[in-house]
Structure 1
Amino acid sequence: MDEKTIKAHKISEDEYAKILEILGREPNLLELGIFSAMWSEHCSYKSSKKYLNGFPTKAPWVIQGPGENAGVIDCGDGVAAVFKMESHNHPSFIEPFQGAATGVGGIFRDIFTMGARVEASLNSLRFGQVVGNSAINKHQRYLVKGVVSGISHYGNCMGVPTVGGETTFDESFNGNILVNAFGLGLCKSDEIFYGKAEGIGNPVMYVGSKTGRDGLGGAVMASDSFNEENKSLRPTVQVGDPFAEKLLMEACLELFKKDYIVGIQDMGAAGLTSSSFEMAGRSGSGMKMYLDRVPMREEGMTPYDLMLSESQERMLICAKKGCEEKIKEIFAKWDMSAQVIGEVTDSGVMELFWHNELVGSIPIDPLSEAAPILDRPVSRPKYLDEIKNIKLENYPKVANEEAFIKLLKDPNVLNKSFIYDQYDANVGTNTIKKPGFLGATAIRIKENGKAVSMGMECNTRFNFIDPKNGAAAAVAASGRKVAMSGATPLAITDCLNYGNPQNPEVMWQFAQGCAGIKEACAALNTPVVSGNVSLYNETDGISVQPTPAIVTVGVNDDANKNLTSIFKNSGTSVYLLGETSGEFCGSLYMKVLYDAIGGEMKGLDYKAERALWDLVIEANKIGILEFANSVGIGGVAITLAKMSAVSNLGFVGKSELGNKIFDESNSRSVVGVKDETKFSELANKYGVKFSKIGVTGGDKFELDDVKMPLGELKNIYFNEFNAVIKSEE
């Protein structure tokens, strides 16, 4: 094999030597392509696997942890929630509409391949600077519109509600946006399907859309940094068809009611390659595949094209022998292709045939077992010493009222109705809480009257300053959102977005982030059940801020007791819970007022965090709370202002916190209390600090020396983001 071809497949010298050792000969082009895809960062996790080991993954309510298409938790009464989050960053930067759309489609397939109907979608989006008239600002606005349009197109056409998410902006994402998609489905807890291929002689079936050349090399492309040469790699971006996926989902869900299959696997990254090798690998089997039988939609396709295409809306099934025609009947009913393309063997080898000629032969276990696990150099970033002394006291004071207006007008704070109004949040009639109503979102479980609550969170500035505590804070904050809805947080899924792993400082950030997640999940009893790693989020040597996006999933035993995050009535006493310690490092206050990011984070007090959760969950159960909301970016002032605007109710309060009304200390929330005596007793029982800071009602927002008419507050909060995004249309 010539050096140029090996290099084009991103295979290192050491990796090529391993390939020679495994095969005992030179690989052909097809085999090299398969190794390239399976050993890519995207598929093999070769840089990250070392640090992912040791994640807490077990609890009595965890049915399936990492290693399958998605994680599964028990919701009680025979119902399970199936969920996962994945990235589609590189494709979305190259082609925002299709990149984002196929990211949504991919995560949906991960859910329904486990046997669950997809019931909810969320997304975590990071863009660069959108305010201004520079070429960068205009391009970022173009990316926002394209990504949102792609997400809404796919989810709406599939009939899956997009019920929440988060969107943030920072210049560190100017050259590499992040698009993370989350999906959740529900199924019977004893009817879960797994990605396995076992039983010698059992047929291997291809179902779904036909294969084209779209997405060729997608997994390898997603395992590389951006530069001027590869920013236009549109052929590596998949093209999605949500209507085809809707048919595929319905066909699969009908199939799952029958006893026709052994296992099923989504054809995601690396397409037919990853699905076949993973299914056989999990079962210790071998497989023969006859690639000329694969349904094709383009002329002149080769075995290389067929194995490495990432065409969408496809599944691989290990069927029970004798059930082939029944399976074909189901898929024909839904206008889907279904074709026997191979069989399970006991050889431990993947044998690939093209018109009865053997064109590829790779041992399955060695491909996985010998996949590189890299021990990349790590080095604490030099910038940390430069920024640790950036403190609030070093800067001139700004009046609270001036600071409030500037923070309120920042795109990170402003209402994102431009985004969520494009999503159908009500389809399926299970949505309890739609986007825009702050805090965690929730859907009802019709079968048992419970609710599933989902909280998504990651403060990238915290992670830039302190990758360990920043990642831990994301776990805590996402769980806090769920607890503030009255649900008990049970498990998380993560999407770990970092820069170039060949940079020792980035690997240090990643290692620290994993350590923070491990620590927080163990302390808060929210194990990791699924997730994704996305590295090489870098352009021209500039990495994104570390972004370990977290979604916590929890269950509320009574869907009718889902606790809202906004004001409900006038005259309600508002309490601040938790310790306000003056945490300004990484705060929006420092960024907006002084264009500064720095300082040193305080570690989390996990006992205090969990006590806050348990207090609100119990107070909600006994009916003494009207609302609860986690304190987020911009501190107490911005949190209350958003609640006031969304609820169309004023607020008058006094905190005596000075400029700490903008601090971003962890483990805090604001709650509306119906019975103040009972609540104070309960708060004392849990050891949670509490103070009354105001009352809802009226036609103005007032907190200490910050005063604004409610009409003006609403006008800024609801209208300014639309004006920014639509400027110069």
Structure 2
Amino acid sequence: MQNLQEILKKHKLTQQEYENIKDILQREPNLLEIGIFSAMWSEHCSYKSSKKYLSGFPTKAPWVIQGPGENAGVIDITGGYSAVFKVESHNHPSFIEPVAGAATGVGGIMRDVFTMGARPVASLDSIRFGRIDRQDDTGKLHRFLLKGVVKGIGGYGNCMGVPTIGGETTFDDCYDGNILVNAFTLGIAKTDEIFYGRAEGIGNPVIYVGSKTGRDGLGGAVMSSDSFDEESKSLRPTVQIGDPFSEKLLLEACLELFKKDLIVGIQDMGAAGLTSSSFEMAGRSGSGMIMHLDKVPMRELGMTPYELMLSESQERMLICAKKGCEKQVLEIFEKWEIDASVIGEVTDTGMMELYWYKERCAYIPIAPITEKAPVLDREIKKPQYLKEVDRDYHPKIDSLKEVFMQMLGSIDIANKSYIYNQYDSMVQANTIVGVGNGDASVIRVKENNTALAMTIFSPITYCYLNPKEGGKIAVACAGRKCVSRGARPLAISDCLNFGNPTNPEVMWQFKEATDGIKEACEKLKTPVVSGNVSLYNQTNDKDIYPTPTIVTVGLNKDVQKVLTSALQKEDSELILFGDLKEDFGGSLIQKLMERKIFGKSPTIDLEKELRLWDLILQANNDNLILSAKAVGKGGIAMALAKMAILGNKGFEVNTGVKPHLLFAESQSLMIVETQNSDLLLKMANKFQISAQILGKVKIDKNIILDSLQLDLDEIGKVYYESFEKCLD
């Protein structure tokens, strides 16, 4: 074996971790065993820096069937059906190779869902780049990255026949060297037909199914557990190449398999490939496993056990079948023209035994590698920059129209049809509210005639100024967007994107943000059922802003009562629920006018937020609401503008507030359209929520917002055309 220190450096293992490996094995490890420990103990697989702060997440509720710890989370959606969902990151690979990185991120999260026995029915994405409106080389690079990522997401999802029904796209200098690509998929399954990633039962066969294994993706889990520098361009071979057509066949074969009583468990080969899938399946059950690596279907000649265990080739699964059912399992995959091979069996030894042409090449106890991975207690320190940004900010507006139009046409607000037109959002014919319609997206669940709302969101600037408050707002705002569709938020999946954990300031941000998420999930009754942590989002010592991406899934039991954000009827009234405050720290108007972020972020009263949810849901149940819009980026001015543009109707509004407050980003605000304002105002008083009649909807194309008068066609043109002009 080559120089030990070089090997440990290549595998991102410390000397102390190497000593721990020797203690576990009671001997010196060989190269294959070092590679296995390296992958399983990587940040990407073991969460060794973050586990300390994840333990307090609320994960249980009467409607939660499966929380964190499996391939995806599962919640009950009534009528004997469940929603299965998860969000994950594919950040580093997408920066290195945007098309392939984004595509395999989508493919991986879909496998996590259908591994549980669910058919994927909807996807969302959250993508973040540097500012593409710059004319320098960085702006040019990020326009290229954006186009590649969108091509990868659309190409994979469209080929799979799974609609991409919504998402979030943001731009900030903090992502110049490290873009974020977070992918979410939701599937539907019968509650009594959920499958888990377990391997148990002595003598039960272990079966490899899916695409042949190649050398693509070698070291992917370890690569994702390190920051970027100038040498990172050489990492392209660690990015996997996906094939959606193979995955579609694998999906259909697995769903056919699930209808028959042939298997014990099934696991996607995601990060760390065959290593993670085999160790996790055996580890969850306290079992042992024997695998004959020479029986693994191979795509390339001369492959070694090391490469077979650590390859991250896509579209592969590991199955624990029932003994005696091997032939039936293999026949199903043969029918779908998918490679399948019995490569091992379950034992009761608690050991992983790997063989290469009948010679044992690795012998590792399973429990220590899955349950006793290092848990690091990293130093934390409040960031120095918070002292520098701690000052008040109140924007001064010289021209209300100029600010309004600049904001509406900014890359943060302008319609992203260039992106979502490349996604098939209507395939499967269940999309009720799709991408580009503001707030949450909604699908019909035809099996039980309900509707599921889902949205993906992270308030990055608030998290930068106050990570704890930002974590709370992330959960609350994602939930509020579902409520604006008439859906009760039930649970979240999170993707926690942060910088380098060796930086004490980053770990302080992580601790604060997770504390905020915990508090919000507890008070809003939206437990965490699945998720992902992505650290080392840093390039050349520059960390991204804390970016805890939250996906909320909500249930509307009456598919006929799904709300949209488009204005509906002439002379109906517009009501603002909630209190408008001087909240401008981290706001869009600050970003546009000052070109930097500072001040105090908005704060949130979670009990008031929950009362707002209850008010809106009760009012919708009583048929008092025609349309609704959660107020967010750009304040009530942008919320009203979007409602008018989407509904192609004007309005006449008199807020009575100072002009700059039209752009305040106060929390727990909702605008609703109604023809029953008296009843709604009484109901708001009952729920202790402030309410104000703003004005009326007009059938003509005029927008009157206090002293501002605009033509609807004019603002629609700015809203729909600005983003694509920026790309060109």
How far apart are the structure 1 equivalents of 2:210 and 2:697?
A: 54
CA contact (8 A) 1:390 1:597 kept: no
Cross-structure match for 1:716: 718
Matched AA of 1:646: L
Give the match for residue 621 of structure 1.
621
Q: Secondary structure at the match of 1:282?
A: helix
Match of residue 309 from structure 1: 311
Residue 330 of structure 2: SS of its match in structure 1? helix
The separation in 1 between residues aligned to 2:396 and 2:448, in whole angstroms, is 56
Match of 1:178 in 2: 180
Whether 1:163 aligns to 2:165 is yes
**Which residue of the other structure, out of 374, 377, 383, is the alignment partner of 1:375?**
377
1:65-144 pair list within 5 angstroms: 65-144=67-146
Mapped contact 1:390–1:596 kept (Cα < 8 A): no
Q: Is the 8 A contact 2:584 2:600 kept in 1?
A: no
Report the residue type matching 2:41 in the other structure. Answer: W
Matched, 1:651 2:626: no
Q: Distance in 2 between matches of 1:52 and 1:180?
A: 19
CA contact 1:568–1:627 (8 Å) conserved in 2 = yes
The Cα of 1:702 is off from its aligned counterpart by: 2.1
Matched, 1:146 2:131: no
Give the SS at the match of 1:231: helix
Report the Cα offset of residue 399 of structure 1: 2.9
- Distance, in Å, in 1 between the alignment partners of 2:682 and 2:141 is 54
- The equivalent residue for 1:702 is 704
Structure 1 residue 719, shift from structure 2 partner: 0.5
Deviation at 1:397, TM superposition (A): 4.2
Alignment match, 2:200: 198
2:130 partner amino acid: G
The CA deviation at 1:594 is 1.2
Q: Quick check: 396-405 or 16-25, which moved more?
A: 396-405
- After TM superposition, the structure 1 = structure 2 runs for residues 525-536 of structure 1, keeping only pairs within 5 Å, are 525-536=525-536
Shift of 1:566: 1.5
Matched-pair contact (CA < 8 Å) for 2:629–2:670: yes
- Corresponding residue for 1:240? 242
Q: Give the secondary-structure state (helix, strand or coil) at the position aligned to 1:428.
A: coil
Q: How far apart, CA to CA, are the structure 2 residues paired with 1:705 and 1:348? A: 74
Task: Using the TM superposition, give the Cα deviation of residue 401 of structure 1 relative to its aligned residue in structure 2, in angstroms.
Answer: 2.0
Counterpart in the other structure of 2:636: 636
Once the 2 structures are TM-superposed, how far is the Cα of residue 589 of structure 1 from its aligned partner? Answer: 0.7
Query: CA shift at 1:298, angstroms?
Result: 0.7
Aligned positions, number:
724
Output one character per residue of 1:11-33: Cα deviation in whole Å (capped at 9) or x when no partner. Answer: 01111110111111111111111
Mapped contact 1:18–1:370 kept (Cα < 8 A): no
For 1:552, give the aligned amino acid: T
State the Cα distance separating 1:707 from its structure 2 match: 2.4
Query: Is 1:402–2:388 an aligned residue pair?
Result: no
If the length of structure 2 is used for normalisation, what is the TM-score?
A: 0.98
Alpha-carbon distance in 2 for matches of 1:535, 1:431: 34
Bigger shift: residues 12-21 or 648-657 = 648-657
Q: Deviations over 1:514-571 (max 9, x none)?
A: 1000000001000000000000001100011110000110110111110111212222
> Does the CA contact (< 8 Å) of 2:410 and 2:722 recur in 1?
no
SS at match of 2:406: helix
Partner of 1:674: 675
The answer for the alignment partner of 2:14 in structure 1 is: 12
**C-alpha distance in 1 between matches for 2:423 and 2:591:** 30
Report Cα offsets for 1:683-729 as digits up to 9, x if no partner. 1111111101121222122211232211110111001101111x2xx
Secondary structure of residue in 2 paired with 1:316:
strand
2:411 aligned residue: 411
Distance in 1 separating the partners of 2:5 and 2:362: 20
Q: Which amino acid aligns with 2:590?
A: M
2-structure distance, mates of 1:701, 1:33: 63
**For the residues of structure 2 that align with 1:174 and 1:645, how far apart are their CA atoms?**
32
Is the 1:406–1:593 contact (alpha carbons within 8 Å) kept by the matching residues of 2? no
Distance in 1 (CA, whole Å) between partners of 2:581 and 2:16 is 51
> Aligned-pair distance for 1:596?
2.8
Q: In the alignment, what sits opposite 1:684?
A: 685
SS of the residue corresponding to residue 291 of structure 2 reads strand
d(CA) in 1 for partners of 2:703, 2:678: 26
**1:246 deviation in Å?**
0.5
Residue 212 in 1 paired to residue 211 in 2?
no
- Look up the SS of the partner of 2:599 in the other structure: coil
SS in 2 for 1:565: coil
Give the match for residue 612 of structure 1. 612
**Contiguous gaps of at least 5 residues in structure 1:** none
Kept in 2, the 8 Å contact 1:72–1:82? The answer is yes
Identity %: 58
CA distance in 1, matches of 2:594, 2:482: 33
Q: Describe the SS at the equivalent of 1:570.
A: coil
Aligned-partner SS, 1:175: coil
Q: Tell me which residue corresponds to 1:437.
A: 437
Counterpart residue identity of residue 662, structure 1: F
Deviation at 1:404, TM superposition (A): 1.1
| Whole-Å separation in 2 of the counterparts to 1:714 and 1:396 | 26
CA displacement at 1:583 relative to structure 2: 0.8
> Among residues 183, 189, 192, which one is paired with 2:191 in the alignment?
189
Matches within 5 A, 1:566-585: 566-585=566-585
Contact 2:121 2:428 in 1 (8 A): yes
Q: 1 CA distance for matches of 2:445 and 2:324? A: 36
**Once the 2 structures are TM-superposed, how far is the Cα of residue 390 of structure 1 from its aligned partner?**
4.4
Per-residue deviation, residues 559-605 of structure 1 (Å, max 9, x unmatched): 11101112122222111110111111110011101113111234321
Deviation of 1:398 after TM superposition, in Å, equals 3.4
Structure 2 Cα separation of the partners of residues 23 and 510 of structure 1: 34
Mapped contact 2:74–2:83 kept (Cα < 8 A): yes
- TM alignment of 1:470-481, pairs within 5 A: 470-481=470-481
Instruction: Give the whole-Å Cα distance in 2 for the aligned partners of 1:646 and 1:676.
Output: 22
> Could you list the runs of 5+ residues in structure 2 that have no partner in the other structure?
none
Deviation at 1:606, TM superposition (A): 1.1
Give the partner amino acid of 1:277: F
One-letter amino acid of the structure 1 residue matched with residue 184 of structure 2: F
Please give the TM-score of this superposition, normalised by the length of structure 1.
0.98
1:537 aligned onto 2:537: yes
**Given that residues 69 and 114 in structure 1 are in contact (C-alpha distance below 8 angstroms), is that contact kept between their aligned partners in structure 2?**
yes
How far did residue 244 of structure 1 move? 0.5
Equivalence for 1:601 = 601
2:580 counterpart letter in structure 1: T
Query: After superposition, what is the alpha-carbon deviation per residue over 1:616-640, rounded to whole angstroms, capped at 9, x for unaligned?
Result: 1111111111001100100000111
Deviates more, 1:603-612 or 1:215-224: 603-612
Does residue 665 in structure 1 map to residue 663 in structure 2? no
Structure-1 separation of matches of 2:121 and 2:360: 43
Counterpart secondary structure, 2:207? strand
Code of the aligned partner of 2:338 = M
Q: Distance in 2 between matches of 1:89 and 1:449?
A: 36
What SS does the aligned partner of 2:193 have?
coil
> Partner amino acid for 2:423?
Y
Cα distance in 2, alignment partners of residues 174 and 232 from structure 1: 19
Conserved in 1, the CA contact under 8 Å of 2:636 and 2:664?
Answer: yes
Deviates more, 1:138-147 or 1:364-373: 364-373
Q: SS of the counterpart of 2:230?
A: coil
Distance, in Å, in 1 between the alignment partners of 2:82 and 2:437 is 26
Is the 1:401–1:705 Cα contact (8 Å) retained in structure 2?
A: no
**1:644: Cα distance to partner?**
1.5
Confirm whether residue 349 of structure 1 aligns to residue 351 of structure 2. yes
Measure how far apart 1:39 and its partner are.
Answer: 0.5
Which whole-Å CA distance do the structure 1 matches of 2:239 and 2:310 have between them?
Answer: 13
Equivalent positions of 1:222-621 (< 5 A) are 222-392=224-394, 396-621=396-621
CA deviation map 1:449-486 (0-9, x unaligned): 11111022111000000000001100000000111110
Tell me if the contact between 1:289 and 1:343 (Cα under 8 Å) persists in the aligned partners: yes
Paired position in structure 2 for 1:30? 32
